[in-house]
Amino acid sequence: MPPTSRQVPSAKAELTAQVAVLMGSDSDLSTLLPAIEVLEGFQVAVEVRVLSAHRTPLEMVSFARQAKFNGLKVIIAGAGGAAHLPGMVASLTSLPVIGVPVKSKALSGVDSMHSILQMPNGIPVATVAIAGGLNAGLLAAQILAIADPTLSEKITNYRQKLHDEVVEKDSRLMKLGANLYFNQM
Ligand code: RP5
């Protein structure tokens, strides 16, 4: 009996990204890289794009309006300065948008943070800390994990590792004392 389409996963289905990581400029990439790496470490497929609210607004609109239709579940958007990308993308899709304020040269990212954080009622952006790319990736994974027990287990393991590292540091600190511990850091 020939396999049905349900039995044979299509190449497209396997490649469909669940999370988009957007940035206003390629100069933001180092801030967003931890998000990409942590998601890929959890085997979450990621689509990475440079889309500027100011320099390529029409491409940004087109991407955001198609995002849900293209199978994306969560969008991470990082930008710096007059950081309109996360809010504008959030205005164009009902997918959850996580904003990452990029540390700007002039104002150390406080401008980016306020631009992303101060959204009007009705159009939320979940804003992480300035340069908080890693937490943006983790938050996106946690959102996906609501409906994905395997991913949920990977996040639990990730947190267990964090826990174990701190316990190990604490016991080493108690054993060595603060001065010796500090000198070995
Ligand atoms: C923003 O302007 C970008 O998100 C970036 O953080 C900032 C500076 O961009 P570049 O001049 O480095 O391209 O749109």
**List of the chain residues with pLDDT < 50:** 1-13
- Bridge-based pairing of strands 46-50 and 97-102 is unpaired
Number of helices (H) and strands (E), helices first, in the chain?
A: 8, 5
Q: Ligand 1 test: best mutation among 21, 23, 27, most atoms within 8 Å of CB?
A: 27
Contacts of 110 (CB under 8 A, 6+ apart): 130
Query: In angstroms, rounded to a whole number, what is the distance separating the alpha carbons of residues 115 and 153?
Result: 35
Q: Could you tell me if the CB of 101 is within 6 A of ligand 1?
A: no
Predicted confidence at residue 75, as pLDDT, reads 98
pTM recorded for the entire structure: 0.91
Q: Whose CA is nearest to atom 13 of ligand 1?
A: 25
Q: Could you tell me if the CB of 34 is within 6 A of ligand 1?
A: no
Residue 163 lies in a domain: yes
With residue 80 as reference, give the H or E element that holds it.
strand 74-80
Structurally, the chain folds into a number of domains equal to 2
Residue 109 lies in a domain: yes
* Shared domain check, 135 and 159: no
Q: Could you tell me if the CB of 22 is within 6 A of ligand 1?
A: no
* Shared domain check, 173 and 129: no
* Shared domain check, 158 and 132: no
* Shared domain check, 139 and 154: no
Q: Ligand 1 test: best mutation among 21, 28, 55, most atoms within 8 Å of CB?
A: 28
Q: Could you tell me if the CB of 56 is within 6 A of ligand 1?
A: no
* Shared domain check, 58 and 133: yes
- Sheet strand arrangement including 97-102: 46-50, 19-23, 74-80, 97-102, 126-127
Residue 47 lies in a domain: yes
Structural domain containing residue 43 = 19-147
* Shared domain check, 79 and 140: yes
- Bridge-based pairing of strands 74-80 and 19-23 is parallel
Dump pLDDT digits (tens) for 26-44: 999 999 999 999 999 999 9
Predicted confidence at residue 12, as pLDDT, reads 44
Q: Could you tell me if the CB of 47 is within 6 A of ligand 1?
A: no
Predicted confidence at residue 1, as pLDDT, reads 43
* Shared domain check, 156 and 79: no
Residue 9 lies in a domain: no
How far is CA 15 from its chain centroid? 18
Domain harbouring 36, CATH code? 3.40.50.1970
Among 71, 79, 69, 73, which residue's Cα sits nearest to residue 49? 79
Predicted confidence at residue 14, as pLDDT, reads 53
* Shared domain check, 132 and 154: no
Predicted confidence at residue 6, as pLDDT, reads 43
Which residues are 146's β-sheet partners?
Answer: none
Contacts of 69 (CB under 8 A, 6+ apart): none
